[in-house]
A = this chain, B = another copy of it.
């Protein structure tokens, strides 16, 4: 893993909802190929930070560059391009309950126009990685919480995105499975993907030590810059 310059740069980002500030003056740099935690207590702004990165929200002020592109004022027609270059594990999964596990995962390949043959090959492969081999044809809606979470992870990694954002990807799985999930993310990171993981599992962060961006009440209190430069 050779850092080759920043891929994500945030300058003085503020995000307010009415009179509540979810993020206050956050400036962060993430290098290409880095793996970074976003941590902090409930309501600190972790998910909000990720939402800004995948364009679900626009910052109230400040500037945001992803791969050199200013995404702080991206119009909605450029968003799909940004999102095709990102895998996102949503905190609430965002699966389609009536589609099968396989179809939910395939979705991320279909929207980028992947060939059918590639879909047939990749989908079972990633389901195998997250331990859901054989569940391909079950409706996503009937899965257990932890199973849904793993489908969400499978969908986020199926098209080998350059950037992976994971919002509490181990919140619904037991300790052993959480370690497995972290190992999956680590393996992806080792292949060159930039990985941002929002989590509050201190044990896990201790076991897999990477830089921690710590948010408290919307303020970044630690980990603003890559370790080498800090």
Instruction: Give the B-binding residues of A (Cβ under 8 A).
Output: 17, 39-43, 46-48, 91-92, 142-147, 149-150, 167-168, 171-177, 200-203
Contacts and interface: CB of A to CB of B under 8 A. Distances in A.
Contact of A42 (B46, B92, B172, B201): B172
State the copy count for this chain: 2
Nearest to A17: B142
Contacts of A202: 174-175
Contacts of A176: 41
Nearest to A150: B42
A38 to B, nearest CB: 12
A221 B91 CA distance: 31
B203 A173 contact: no
Contacts of A172: 42, 91, 168, 171
A21 B161 CA distance: 36
B146 A43 contact: yes
Contacts of A201: 175
A174 B41 contact: yes
Nearest to A149: B42
12 contacts: A17-B142, A41-B174, A41-B176, A42-B146, A42-B173, A42-B177, A43-B144, A47-B144, A91-B172, A92-B145, A171-B171, A174-B202
